[in-house]
A and B are shown apart, each in its own frame.
Chain A
Amino acid sequence: MSLHDRIPNNVDLCNDRRLQKALEQWQPRFLDWWLEMGPDGFQTKDVYLRTAVSVDRDGWATFEHVKMPDYRWGIFLTPEERKRPVGFGDNPDIESFEEVPGEFRNPLRRLIVTQGDTEPASVEQQRLLGRTCPSLYDLRNLFQVNVEEGRHLWAMVYLLHRHFGRDGRDEADELLARRSGDANKPRILETFNQPIRHWLSFFCFTMFTDRDGKYQLGALAESGFAPMRRTCQFMLTEEAHHLFVGETGITRVLRRSAQLAKLFDGDVVKGGGIPLEIVQRYINYWFSYSLDLFGSEISSNSADFFAMGLKGRFDEEKKYADHSAREGFMNVPVIEAGRVTQRQVPLRNALNEVLRDDYIKDCERAVKGWNRALEEEGSSFRVTLPNRRFHRHLGEYAQHSFTTDGELLADAGTADAYYASMLPSEADEAYVDSLMVGVTKPGAFANWIAPPKNGINSQALDFEYVKL
């Protein structure tokens, strides 16, 4: 089968010789990478996967049992019916760029490489989870997330191959050379080097870290560089499922823990579940690490990317009237002389913070849902999000320690002990690990998690989502 038959696409791959040549070399490397770093132990199994075979309504979600290495990773750009101007920044009225403007070549490449690097990273982080799946339903969801992260890598590689010449091909190779958590060639962003040892972390990751992806892609989906805009728009349709897996996964854990608390007189451990306090500590960990992904609170890059018309705000076109963002300020809390004080930052330099705000609001909405579930289960426990300053590794707050309420902890000794109490301990990790035993009977679910409301694609919960 020729390359363009194997790769579903709407980018005219069969007539693009340059792209063909690049992909002919890259595609076998991708497969090698997938076999080496993709889901461990399940590569020969049939998995009920959703594949995008075209961009129209029926094509983007075709369900069938397929072996993951045979998954048809495609390249899709969301079609645009009208010509769109750049729409924001310094030159909002000029036509969108179909080709890379030379002056923006480097910043664009950097945006794409940074985004692209996260896609294979998460596959690597999650590669060992299959063995300890709480159900076939969850196992299938894990693999669905994995293959789609693989496809998102393809999407970014397409942009690199199609628009950035030899440098682009080199960068595409580097995307396969870096490894999550590797001592020598780690992934670019630290959050993507953190291990995902068990399913609680997986759900937190898909809830919080993939949600950063939603906002980054959302901002790039406004881009004046049309191919990137259209690629990201299509990726967003897939990303929604990942967020669903995370958000409902945590709901199910919380529900089950609340149920076990009732059944065992408050002793969730005795009931074989995950104590709610532990879940809270994982939320603290992954939420704070995910906040780092938005970058520095005060950023010249964010201003440049916006001014150039390369990266907008989330829902830039729909949500805002003023697309120049040249006027206006944002108050950003910073640490000066040992105190949290407000600094007035020009809006364009605070766009990372604007995006982070949108993200936090979205997470708060999910937390409300989780607490509703706890209430329904008769639990008085409520989960919360830590303050955005807590446990940060990048930006204005990285050099300081804060409580989950955002109060500055001046004393380093106190801060260490405090962080230890608010973040998962080695004992928490070991305990959660101990609950992770693979459950692979169709329709069965591990004791520590409640079943979902519905199956995938209207299938029953006892459907054989993965044929083992």
Chain B
Amino acid sequence: MADDTTSASAGTLTQFQTDPTHYRHWTLRKDGAVATLALHVQEEEGLGDKYLLKQNSYDLGVDIELADAVQRLRFEHPEVKALVLSSEVARIFCAGANIYMLGKSTHAFKVNFCKYTNETRLGIEDLSANSGVRSIAALNGTAAGGGYELALACDQIVLVDDGNSAVSFPEVPLLAVLPGTGGLTRLVDKRRIRRDRADIFCTIAEGLKGKRAKEWGLVDEAPSKTGFAAAVAKRSADLVTTATRRAAAPVVLPRIDLQQDGLRLAGRYVEVVSDTTTRVADLLVRGPEAVEPCDRAGMLAKGAELWALRAMRELDLCLLHLRVDFPEINIVRVRTQGDVTKLLAVDAALLAHADDGFLHEVRLNMARTLRRYDLTAKSLFALVEPGSCFAGSLLELLLGADRAYGLIAKDGGRLAFSAMNDGALPMSHGITRLQARFCADMAAAASARAALPAAGADIEACERAGLMTMALDELDYEDEVRLAVEERASLSPDALTGMEASLRFPGPETCESKIFARLSAWQNWIFQRPNATGPKGALTNYGLPTRPAFDYRRT
């Protein structure tokens, strides 16, 4: 798959779903309220067949399992109050992303791989910040590159001080690239490692061992080998006693089977149809049906089939497939369909019962999925048509889109706010999509919010409130939209990716937004440079008998 330079549009989709019975690289163990995820990568079971996953290094398949495990901790294991990430391989925690896999991958795949692994790590941090499950990286051996970045995603890091094990970022000195999953940002913004020390740390391939790593703040504790298990156990026990996780009944996440019919992927609520010739895809998200429960007991009974969970899981999968399996798609027309009133009721019910751990997780999952939407490198045009359902949580799809076109018609679509739009579904830079739409001018955002009545307003009123790009009558609508879409699809996809990423996130920054905006952008540039991937580049030559030769001119 990684070698596939075109796409999987012809048929095979990347398998983003798994479950514990199919894990090959991770084992989830529970001991009371402490869950341990132990890494033991099977060398020969990488997704591609041209590399071996040595030294507990990972590829996309390993990370898909990790993401799945974290997701199941949220829904299936509500009794878990602390998470320990460790390894079952002696003397090595994790060597990071597999270099040979990266070396053999297309640029597009590398970018998507990094984006996905970043989202997985941010998911671990989200679990800590919003679900009350804090985490410990128990480094029983060396954590190099992405291995240390994984540790940085945890709240605490314990590194065994055995005279050998180290934490390290060998990317710059060995591979001439950057730590690609938030490592640089988290060093200074999360762990607040002094800048000069971070600078040294990032340029010594072998990294730092126990005592010095602790002194510099790269790890929180460096116990001896015999004291290691007890130190981790003590910390996890402490985390359990101070945990704030809401009570919930376990909800098992079933596999979601998207129907694949040529270039059409369809779930119960979400479908996406791709046209690889015009480079346009149509994404449709349906709102809840009339029978969708809005009472606590009914919602809990519905479990994983709850619209708010099921629809978002389908949307999440479709976004992943669009990113990885349909690279030639440049622009997505985003439509919704359903009953606005019903959706507003569902949103309200979800927030009213947020004390329940499961319903709380449903909302957090929605927030993460929408952030994945924001970070999808496709042009997003929302289209408001009769029967549409851009209200509350689904209104976020419009607010997050690059443009919004609407058809003025009798019984045409209307937009409506719910409390979900007021901070329950934040973007990665910490503000709401409504606020970002008004460039973080909070007063302007609030007045647009106030301009709409609770039941919503038609698109002409919304255009006046600054919520629509264009409200067009039936004479203009079709052609105007066609032209806009065709024009968009003709532009350079690279320039569009950069332009959209720059325009979508006005306002403040967070560690999370910096990771994508800064680190990923630099990384993607460096990945393209001859010093990394040219014939004499360090990444190209890694593992080969030849040495890299740099062009030393600074850019």
Q: Give the interface of A toward B (CB within 8 A).
A: 90, 106-107, 110, 170, 174, 177-178, 183-186, 188, 300, 303-304, 306-308, 325-326, 346-349, 399
Say whether A185 contacts B545, CB under 8 Å.
Answer: no
Contact among B163, B206, B546 with A186 in the assembled complex (CB-CB below 8 Å): B163
Say whether B545 contacts A303, CB under 8 Å.
Answer: yes
Q: Give the interface of B toward A (CB within 8 A).
A: 43, 161-164, 173, 204-206, 209, 212, 224-227, 542-547
19 contacts between A and B (CB under 8 A): A90-B547, A106-B204, A177-B163, A183-B225, A184-B225, A184-B227, A185-B162, A185-B163, A188-B163, A188-B164, A303-B545, A306-B545, A307-B545, A325-B545, A326-B546, A346-B544, A348-B546, A349-B544, A399-B43
Residue of B nearest to A299 (CB): B543
Task: Report the minimum CB–CB distance from A128 to chain B (whole Å).
Answer: 22
A107 / chain B contacts, CB cutoff of 8 Å: 205
Say whether B546 contacts A308, CB under 8 Å.
Answer: no
Contact among A170, A186, A303 with B162 in the assembled complex (CB-CB below 8 Å): A186
Task: Report the minimum CB–CB distance from B512 to chain A (whole Å).
Answer: 32
B164 / chain A contacts, CB cutoff of 8 Å: 186, 188
Contact among B226, B545, B547 with A184 in the assembled complex (CB-CB below 8 Å): B226
B543 / chain A contacts, CB cutoff of 8 Å: 300, 303, 349
Given contacts A174-B163, A185-B163, are A348 and B545 in contact (CB under 8 A)? Answer: yes
Contact among B173, B204, B544 with A303 in the assembled complex (CB-CB below 8 Å): B544
Cα distance A148–B399 when bound, in Å? 75
Task: Report the minimum CB–CB distance from B535 to chain A (whole Å).
Answer: 14
Task: Report the minimum CB–CB distance from A349 to chain B (whole Å).
Answer: 6
Say whether B224 contacts A307, CB under 8 Å.
Answer: no
Say whether B162 contacts A307, CB under 8 Å.
Answer: no
Task: Report the minimum CB–CB distance from B178 to chain A (whole Å).
Answer: 18
| With A183-B224, A307-B545, A349-B543 already in contact, 9 other A-B pairs whose C-beta atoms are closer than 8 Å | A106-B204, A107-B205, A174-B163, A174-B209, A186-B225, A300-B542, A306-B545, A307-B546, A349-B544
Say whether A185 contacts B225, CB under 8 Å.
Answer: yes
Task: Report the minimum CB–CB distance from B96 to chain A (whole Å).
Answer: 15
Cα distance A377–B363 when bound, in Å? 84
- Secondary structure call for the B interface: loop
B212 / chain A contacts, CB cutoff of 8 Å: 170
A106 / chain B contacts, CB cutoff of 8 Å: 173, 204-206
A303 / chain B contacts, CB cutoff of 8 Å: 543-545
Task: Report the minimum CB–CB distance from B550 to chain A (whole Å).
Answer: 10
Task: Report the minimum CB–CB distance from A107 to chain B (whole Å).
Answer: 8
Cα distance A349–B162 when bound, in Å? 29
Cα distance A184–B225 when bound, in Å? 4
B226 / chain A contacts, CB cutoff of 8 Å: 183-184
- Most chain A CB inside 10 Å of its own CB: which residue of B43, B164, B209, B227: B164
Residue of B nearest to A328 (CB): B545
Task: Report the minimum CB–CB distance from B143 to chain A (whole Å).
Answer: 17
Nearest 9 interchain pairs by C-beta: A348-B545, A184-B224, A185-B163, A346-B545, A300-B543, A307-B547, A178-B163, A184-B225, A303-B545
Say whether B545 contacts A326, CB under 8 Å.
Answer: yes
B542 / chain A contacts, CB cutoff of 8 Å: 300
- Most chain B CB inside 10 Å of its own CB: which residue of A307, A349, A399: A307
A307 / chain B contacts, CB cutoff of 8 Å: 545-547
B545 / chain A contacts, CB cutoff of 8 Å: 303, 306-307, 325-326, 346-349
B227 / chain A contacts, CB cutoff of 8 Å: 184
Cα distance A90–B546 when bound, in Å? 8
Cα distance A110–B163 when bound, in Å? 13
B163 / chain A contacts, CB cutoff of 8 Å: 174, 177-178, 185-186, 188
Task: Report the minimum CB–CB distance from A214 to chain B (whole Å).
Answer: 24
Cα distance A178–B161 when bound, in Å? 11
Residue of A nearest to B160 (CB): A184
A308 / chain B contacts, CB cutoff of 8 Å: 547
A326 / chain B contacts, CB cutoff of 8 Å: 545-546
Residue of B nearest to A349 (CB): B545
Cα distance A178–B163 when bound, in Å? 6
- Most chain B CB inside 10 Å of its own CB: which residue of A106, A107, A349: A106
A185 / chain B contacts, CB cutoff of 8 Å: 161-163, 224-225
Task: Report the minimum CB–CB distance from B158 to chain A (whole Å).
Answer: 14
Task: Report the minimum CB–CB distance from A296 to chain B (whole Å).
Answer: 9
Residue of A nearest to B210 (CB): A185
Cα distance A268–B181 when bound, in Å? 64
Cα distance A365–B407 when bound, in Å? 89
Task: Report the minimum CB–CB distance from B45 to chain A (whole Å).
Answer: 12
Cα distance A178–B165 when bound, in Å? 12
Cα distance A177–B546 when bound, in Å? 37
Task: Report the minimum CB–CB distance from B507 to chain A (whole Å).
Answer: 41
Task: Report the minimum CB–CB distance from B542 to chain A (whole Å).
Answer: 6
Residue of B nearest to A117 (CB): B163
A325 / chain B contacts, CB cutoff of 8 Å: 545
A183 / chain B contacts, CB cutoff of 8 Å: 224-226
Say whether A184 contacts B206, CB under 8 Å.
Answer: no
Cα distance A174–B209 when bound, in Å? 11
Residue of A nearest to B164 (CB): A188
Contact among B206, B209, B225, B546 with A110 in the assembled complex (CB-CB below 8 Å): B206
Residue of B nearest to A301 (CB): B543
Cα distance A307–B547 when bound, in Å? 7
Residue of A nearest to B549 (CB): A90
A90 / chain B contacts, CB cutoff of 8 Å: 547
Cα distance A326–B225 when bound, in Å? 42
B225 / chain A contacts, CB cutoff of 8 Å: 183-186
Task: Report the minimum CB–CB distance from B420 to chain A (whole Å).
Answer: 51
Task: Report the minimum CB–CB distance from A94 to chain B (whole Å).
Answer: 14
B224 / chain A contacts, CB cutoff of 8 Å: 183-185
B204 / chain A contacts, CB cutoff of 8 Å: 106
Cα distance A196–B162 when bound, in Å? 21
B162 / chain A contacts, CB cutoff of 8 Å: 184-186
Cα distance A106–B162 when bound, in Å? 20
Cα distance A177–B163 when bound, in Å? 8
Cα distance A300–B547 when bound, in Å? 10
Residue of A nearest to B203 (CB): A106
B546 / chain A contacts, CB cutoff of 8 Å: 307, 326, 348
Task: Report the minimum CB–CB distance from A247 to chain B (whole Å).
Answer: 31
- Most chain A CB inside 10 Å of its own CB: which residue of B163, B173, B212, B225: B163
Task: Report the minimum CB–CB distance from B76 to chain A (whole Å).
Answer: 32
Cα distance A206–B204 when bound, in Å? 35
Residue of B nearest to A345 (CB): B545
Cα distance A307–B162 when bound, in Å? 31
- Most chain B CB inside 10 Å of its own CB: which residue of A107, A184, A399: A184
B173 / chain A contacts, CB cutoff of 8 Å: 106
- Most chain B CB inside 10 Å of its own CB: which residue of A325, A347, A348: A348
A348 / chain B contacts, CB cutoff of 8 Å: 545-546
A306 / chain B contacts, CB cutoff of 8 Å: 545
Cα distance A307–B536 when bound, in Å? 14
